[in-house]
Structure 1
Amino acid sequence: MQREVSRNNLESLCQSRLFTGIAPDDIPQMLKCLSATRKEYAKDEMVVREGDYVDDVGIILQGSAQSTKLNVKGKQIIVSLHYPGGYTAVLTAASRGRRCPMSVQAIEPLEVLFIPIQNILSRCTKLCMGHEQLLGNLFDSIAERALELHDRNDCLIMPTIRDKVLTYLTRVMRDAGTETFTIPFDREAMAEYLDVDRSALSRELAWMKRDGLIEFCRNEFRLLSKAVEKDIH
């Protein structure tokens, strides 16, 4: 690596599913065996461009990023957000030879740790105790990422803006475990994520508030009982 792992970066790696079950004290030595490298990105800088070949698993150490792609009309769509402990293009890295179907861009100053996928898949020559655990964790990480994309697809296949919004907000509420929760998007980003027009989204949110389905202030939302009953039925 370019330098020793800082305490904050080590905490981010411990949050990553890739290092689940591996003692924090063992991680720095494992990173040396895996030939991991760290890279910094400025705000708005591209980490991966749509169509790139990706051979490394990228783990966010500090900052946040977003995965985006262009639809057939050339409009940018937000696919997902990435925070410390999360991944960049892990599915593409594991697919061997496929081009990345989306771009990854820094939302703010970003640090990413890159580990060559081949070094994770290959048998460790130094017989590190955690390498087998790491390999199993990689498959868990791939499944986790695939399910995240499945959750977003649940929103996209809904026929109306209202249904898209309710599907998304219900999932966030369940993940948060509270009726009142904060979403990670402003209105423009929320419209991109749901693949709808921003003005149409703003109108629909106002109508949903009028109809007693939701309450909101900026990006803090509350699903009312009427909306929860609609989702159940």
Structure 2
Amino acid sequence: MKIEEKVIACLYETSLFRGIDKPGIQNMINCLNPRIHYYKKNENIAMSGDPFHGIGIVIEGEAVIAKENIAGNRAILTVLKQGDMFGEMISFTEKKVWPVTVTAQSDSEVIFISPEKIITRCEKMCDSHQILIQNMLKIMSKKALILSRKVDYLSIRSLRGRLCAYLIEQWKLQETPVFSLPMNRDELADFFNVARPSISRELSKMKDEGYIDFHKSAFKIIDFEAMKKEI
């Protein structure tokens, strides 16, 4: 199976194929037998409750993972960008249905790989497949830690405290004085399960009080100690 060069180049940059060169990825394609799908902006890539058919990797575009609670309120769990993978946490469960909805935020290209193809050694028993399996285990462990971090957010009672924790986390991740947020105001509101005006109002108050400075999606932490006390 011949895959476009851009797909191989994208997979080469992902955590799943880390340590495997491009020729090695192309050789593995025959064993993995992936499927490529194209989606228009706002089109659902996967719907909550639908059968699960494979782990997805975003090749082009952006997508959001969201979940609705019993009351029907939508909460964004994460934003997917080029090279990001989704579905791996449910790929080995007994009940293989999507627990979330994945929606294209822009025109997108997604490649799907069967999880069984990843963990089953191919007939060639190549070293690259062993690396692939190890990478998969590392990714799932990392995702488990991220889920634990989200529980930490829920333990913070105030919206300001959650915003402070989120901003500090992004600042540390990006290791730069001026950093950008991966989510816009609407997505942040869904993420924290509040109304959008509440996010904008609280951020403006924090700016006026000298906690932070920002312009659009670019942020800078001014008073780190004061923010820590809010958490």
In the other structure, the counterpart of 2:162 is: 164
Query: In the alignment, residue 202 of structure 2 is paired with which amino acid?
Result: E
SS in structure 2 of the partner of residue 40 of structure 1: strand
Report 1:32-181 matches (<5 A). Answer: 32-181=30-179
* AA aligned opposite 1:38: I
Which stretch shifts more, 168-177 or 179-188? 179-188
CA displacement at 1:158 relative to structure 2: 1.3
Root-mean-square deviation over aligned CA pairs: 1.8
Letter of the 1:11 partner, please give it: A
Q: Distance in 2 between matches of 1:64 and 1:8?
A: 16
1:66 aligns to what SS in structure 2?
Answer: strand
Match of residue 224, structure 2, among 220, 224, 227: 227
Using structure 1 for the length normalisation, give the TM-score.
0.91
**Amino acid corresponding to residue 40 of structure 2 in structure 1:** A
Cα distance, 1:129 vs structure 2? 2.6
Give how far 1:231 is off.
1.8
Which letter maps to 1:31? I
For structure 2, list consecutive stretches of 5 or more residues without a partner in the other structure. Answer: none
Identity of aligned residues (%): 28
The match for 2:193 among 187, 192, 195 is 195
CA drift of 1:202 comes to: 1.5
Q: Distance in 1 between matches of 2:157 and 2:36?
A: 43
The structure-2 alpha-carbon separation of the partners of 1:55 and 1:97, relative to structure 1 and needing over 3 Å to count, comes to: farther
User: Which runs of 5 or more residues in structure 1 are unaligned?
Assistant: none
Once the two structures are superposed, residues 85-127 of structure 1 have per-residue CA deviations (whole angstroms, 9 ceiling, x without a partner) of: 2112111113243432211111111111111111112221222
Deviations 1:173-197 (A, max 9, x none): 0111012111122211111112112
> Contact 1:216–1:222 (CA<8 Å) still a contact in 2?
yes
- 1:78 deviates by 0.5
Instruction: Tell whether the 8 Å contact from 2:211 to 2:226 is kept in structure 1 after alignment.
Output: no
SS at match of 2:58: strand
The 8 Å contact of residues 54 and 112 in structure 2, kept in 1 or not, is answered as yes
Which amino acid in the other structure matches residue 112 of structure 1? V
> Over residues 130-170 of structure 1, what are the superposed CA-to-partner deviations in whole Å (9 max), with x where a residue is unaligned?
11111111111112222333333332331001001001111
Count of matched residue positions in the alignment of Structure 1 and Structure 2: 230
1:130 alignment partner, SS class = helix
Residue 9 in structure 1 maps to residue 10 in structure 2 = no
